[in-house]
Amino acid sequence: MKNTILMMAALSGGMAMAEENMKSNIALVIHGGAGTIKKENLSDEQEQNIKTALQQALDAGYQALADGQDATAGVIAAIKILEDSPYFNAGHGAVFTKPGKHELDASIMRGSDLDAGAVAGVAYTKNPILAAEQVMLNSPHVMLAGSGADTFSKTRGLEQVENSYFDTEFRRKAWQEVDAKTRAKQAETASSDDVLAAEFKFGTVGAVALDKNGHIAAGTSTGGMTYKAWGRVGDSPVIGAGTYADDRSCGISATGHGEFFIRYTVASDICARVRYKNIGIEQAADEVIHQELKSVGGDGGVIGLDPKGNIIMTFNTTGMYRGYKKAEKSEVLIYGDE
Ligand code: ASP
């Protein structure tokens, strides 16, 4: 009897320890855009505000994971905070399109079963990442675009706002600068250089999470690129380009010049390298971001993690707003040389 009790106590102690070990594997990594981000271009106040928002997003996402919620919940909790913050090009604070409006893109993917959801060009849904989640959970489709996507999110009960809700003075100024340059050139739409000069100040947001059951999820949300025209859709809502998650390899969220990220299927390429070449996530991201993309002028970066909780934050620009949180360590960073 005594032996049985002792054995049971040892067993339950062992199980509790195993559960603790599992829990300590939870991890979250986020980004708030990559680009020409230099210390001399940011005031101390801007830097502090951005870091605070990134920290809040990390804390919210990590808390969801620590509470035992799944990886998608961690991703959504983090991204929602960044969408609501005016400092990032997603949700409130999104860039302006050529006609001076906002069209937002977002996606989410689950590594346990490769299910995914995305919206492109929504104009009235307050939190596009929630719409992407609804597409994944409550529709037979992977991507919905334009007014149909807004209608769907409304029928799912998501909060709708006026398009002007996404306005910020900072983004309007960037739009005006590109507009003036484009008109002076009498061009139909802005050149890549003019767009990038405006765009690469603050960017897209994303998160990748590992939950206590070892499942990965990744999500990305953006206003796209300043002065985008004709219903342009970037990489962020494109599964495989801006977002990818597969428990067999890794989860990735990207930010940068979307046209390159689509053509080089950046997010899924990194995961495919991990899976088929049997290399680490860091080497895979280096190969894609520093070699493939850099050699063709594709500016940007990625965040990601693998099922063991190894985290990467890899970029070929001067900076990337970024941060991660694991049991033993947490950091929020901006510039390339930190
Ligand atoms: N990748 C986004 C897009 O092309 C922009 C960004 O990451 O800043 O729409």
Tens digit of each residue's pLDDT (9 = 90 or more) over 115-141: 999 999 999 999 999 999 999 999 999
Residue 199: pLDDT band with limits 50, 70, 90:
low
pLDDT at 6: 47
In a domain, 10, yes or no: no
What the block records as the tokens of 99 is: 């006609």
The type of residue at 337 is D
Over its C-alpha atoms, the chain yields an Rg (Å, rounded) of 20
pLDDT at 202: 59
pLDDT, average across residues 288-310: 96
Task: Name the range with the highest mean pLDDT among 20-24, 36-40, 216-220.
Answer: 216-220
In a domain, 17, yes or no: no
Residue span of the structural domain in which 198 resides: 26-335
Residue 204 designated active-site: yes
For ligand 1, atom 9, name the residue with the nearest CA. 224
Of 69, 79, 66, 68, give the one whose Cα is nearest residue 108: 79
In a domain, 18, yes or no: no
Residue 1: pLDDT band with limits 50, 70, 90:
very low
Rounded CA-CA distance 79/268 in Å is 20
199-225: string of b/e by CB count within 10 Å (b at 16+)? Answer: bbbbbbbbbbbbbbebbbbbbbbbbbb
In a domain, 227, yes or no: yes
The total of structural domains in the chain comes to: 1
In a domain, 43, yes or no: yes
Of 68, 327, 315, 295, give the one whose Cα is nearest residue 206: 315
Cα(330) to ligand 1 centroid in Å equals 26
**Phi, then psi, of 204 in degrees rounded to 5:** -50, 155
| Low-confidence winner among 85-89, 199-203, 245-249 (lowest mean pLDDT) | 199-203
Please tell me if the CB atom of residue 32 comes closer than 6 angstroms to any atom of ligand 1. no
Give the CATH number, domain containing residue 152.
3.60.20.30
pLDDT, average across residues 14-34: 73
pLDDT in tens, 166-193: 999 999 998 999 899 888 888 887 777 7
Cα(235) to ligand 1 centroid in Å equals 7
The type of residue at 79 is I
Please tell me if the CB atom of residue 234 comes closer than 6 angstroms to any atom of ligand 1. yes
In a domain, 19, yes or no: no
